[in-house]
Chains A and B, each alone.
Chain A
Amino acid sequence: MSLESLQDIWLTYQSTVAFIGLNGLLALSVYTTLSCGQLSLAQAGFMAIGAYASTILTFHTGLPFAVNLAVATLLPALVAIPLGLPVLRLKGVFLAIATIGFGEVVRLFFVNLDFTNGALGLTAVPQRTSMWMIYAALGAALFVLWRIRGSRTGHALEAIREDEPAARTMGIDAARYKLAMLALGASFAGLAGALEAHYTYMVSPSTYSFSRVVDMLVYAVVGGTGVFYGPVVGATFLTALPEVLREVSSRIGLAPGPVRLFVNGLVLLLVILFLPEGISSLPRRVRGALQARRRARAS
C-alpha cells in the first residue's frame, strides 16, 4: 500500500478515532457515578459547562490551552458539589430524573444566554485539540479508575453499591464518597466537552441535550459496568459501528441516520437482556463456557 493511500485512510477515519476517545471519556464519566450505584444523567450538563467555559476563555483571554482545559475540568466538579448535596439523597429512578432536570436546566441556561449567541451557539472556535490530547485525557481517566479499584476507596464504593445502609454501619461516609464520584464524573465530562468544542470548531446547546446523555449511558451499559474499562469498550464499538453501517446502508438503500439509531437500540436491548455485564465480559464468558465443555468431556 502506498503512503498516499494510507494517508487517505487516516484522513477518512481520524475523526472517528477522535470520537472514540471523546465518547470513551464521556462513557467513563457516567460509569464513575454508576460505580457506587448512582445513575446520574446530568453528564451532558457538566459537558456543556466544560465546553462553554473553555471556549469563552479561548475567545476572551490569551491563556494557554492547558489552563482552559484545567478550568473545564475543575468547574463542573465545583458545580457538582452543591448539586449533589441535596440530589444524592434521592434514590434510583428519582436521582436519574432530578439529574435529567439539572441537565436540561443547564442546556436551557445556555440557550437563553445572549453572551454566547443563545441557541445557535459559538462557531469558528479555533481548533486547539489534537489527537494526543484526547487520548492522554482518556488514559488519565482510565489510570485514576484503575488505581481506585482494589483500594480502600474502591472497596468502600463497591460496598455502597451493594448495600448502602450496611456500608454506612461499617463506618463508610457514603454521602461523601457519592459526592466525590459525582464530582469526578463531572470533571471527566467537562474535560471531554472542552476537547470536543476545540476539535469540532463549535459549541451549541443542542449538542448537550438529553439524547447525548442517553448515548453516554448506552456506551457504558453496552461495554459493561462491571470493570472500569468496559465503558471504553462500549464507546469504541458503538462509535466505530456507524462507519461500517454507513457502507452497508448505502448499499441496501436505507437512510443512514435511522439505520444507526436502529442498530444502537437493538444492540442495547440485546445486551441488557442477554449480556447484563456488557460486551467486555464476552471473553470471560467464552473462556468459562469452553472450560466447562472441556471438563465435561474429560469426565
Chain B
Amino acid sequence: MLLSLQDVRKTFGGLAAVDGASLSVGSGEVHGLIGPNGAGKTTLLNMISGLIPPTAGTIVLDGERIDGMPSHVVASRGITRTYQNIRLFPALTAADNVLVGAHLRRDAPLWRRMLFLPSAAVEERAAQDASLALLARVGMSGQAGERASNLSYGDQRRVEIARALASEPRVMLLDEPTAGMNPAEVVAIAELIRSVARTGHSVLLVEHNVKLVMDVCDRITVLDFGKVIADGTPTEVARDPAVIAAYLGGEAAA
C-alpha cells in the first residue's frame, strides 16, 4: 500500500474529531472518503498533509512515517492537496498559482537568474509552459492571466486542482472538489480524476456527491463520528447496513 493510516486519532479539547481511523490507499487508486457533516474527513486530510499533528496513530507513505512531519516536508514526499474552503493565493494570477504549485519540481537557483544565464530563462519558459498546459488540462486555459480572486467558485476549484497536480504528487488529496459546481462541471471533474489516476497518481477524494464517488472510486471508506464504519468497493459500501443507517440517520435528524 502506498499510503496507510493506522488508528489515527485527533482530539480538540476532549472532543474526538477523528477516533482511531485506519485506511489505506494503493498506487494509482482513487479512494473515496465519505461521511456525514462533521464526521472528521477534513481533519483526517489535515493530518495527512501535516497541517495538524495527530494525537495518536501512525501515517505511513511508502514505508516512511510521515505523521508529525512539517507540511512542506510531507509535500516533498509526494502529497499535495486542495481545500474545502478554497485557499488559492488571491492576489496571484491563475498561472502563477500553478507555478507556485510546481515549486518542488523546479530547479531554478537564484544565482543563475542574477547572472542572466540563458539556462535560467529556458527553465522559466518551460515552467510557464508547463503551468499553462496544466491549466488547459483542467479547462482553464482562457483565464491563465486572471487574478485568482476574480475567478468564479468552480474555476477557483479547478485552478486548485491544477496547482496540486503541478508538484506531480504521488497522492493527491481532494477535499470536496465539486462543491458549488453545476452537473456539467462535475462530469468534467470526474473525467479529470480518472485521468489523473491513469497517469499513476493516487487520489484520496472527500465528497458529498455520492454519485460521483460511486462512479470514480475504486474503494471507499466511510467515516462517522470520527470512526470508520465501512470500507470496501462502491457496491459493497452501498449495501452496508451501517452506512445506510448513518446516512438515513443523518437525513432523519436534518
A and B touch in the complex (CB under 8 A): yes
Which residue numbers of A lie inside 8 Å of B, CB to CB? 143-144, 147-148, 150-153, 155-156, 158-159, 162-163, 165-174
Query: Cβ of B238 < 8 Å from any Cβ of A?
Result: no
Query: Cβ of B197 < 8 Å from any Cβ of A?
Result: no
- Cβ contact within 8 Å between B81 and A172: no
Q: 11 A–B contact pairs at CB < 8 A?
A: A152-B127, A158-B96, A159-B92, A159-B103, A162-B92, A166-B83, A168-B75, A169-B74, A170-B72, A170-B100, A171-B80
- Cβ contact within 8 Å between B100 and A169: no
Which residue numbers of B lie inside 8 Å of A, CB to CB? 49-51, 70-72, 74-76, 80-81, 83, 87-92, 96, 99-101, 103-104, 106, 108, 110, 113-114, 124, 127, 163, 167
Interface centre among B76, B87, B103, B104, by most chain A C-beta atoms within 10 angstroms, is: B103
Given A147-B110, A151-B108, A159-B89, also A168-B100 (CB < 8 A): no
- Cβ contact within 8 Å between B75 and A170: yes
Among B72, B87, B92, B113, contact of A171 (Cβ-Cβ < 8 Å): B72
Minimum CB–CB distance from A162 to chain B (whole Å) comes to 4
Q: Which residues from chain B contact A144 at a C-beta distance below 8 Å?
A: 114
Among A159, A163, A169, contact of B71 (Cβ-Cβ < 8 Å): A169
Report how far A150 CA is from B92 CA in the complex, Å: 11
Q: Which residues from chain B contact A165 at a C-beta distance below 8 Å?
A: 51, 71, 87
Minimum CB–CB distance from A180 to chain B (whole Å) comes to 10
Report how far A163 CA is from B85 CA in the complex, Å: 13
Among A150, A152, A168, contact of B70 (Cβ-Cβ < 8 Å): A168
Interface centre among A153, A155, A172, by most chain B C-beta atoms within 10 angstroms, is: A155
Interface centre among B51, B71, B81, B108, by most chain A C-beta atoms within 10 angstroms, is: B71
Report how far A279 CA is from B90 CA in the complex, Å: 23
Residue of A nearest to B101 (CB): A170
- Cβ contact within 8 Å between A155 and B96: yes
- Cβ contact within 8 Å between A156 and B92: no
- Cβ contact within 8 Å between B51 and A169: yes
Interface centre among A144, A165, A168, A171, by most chain B C-beta atoms within 10 angstroms, is: A171
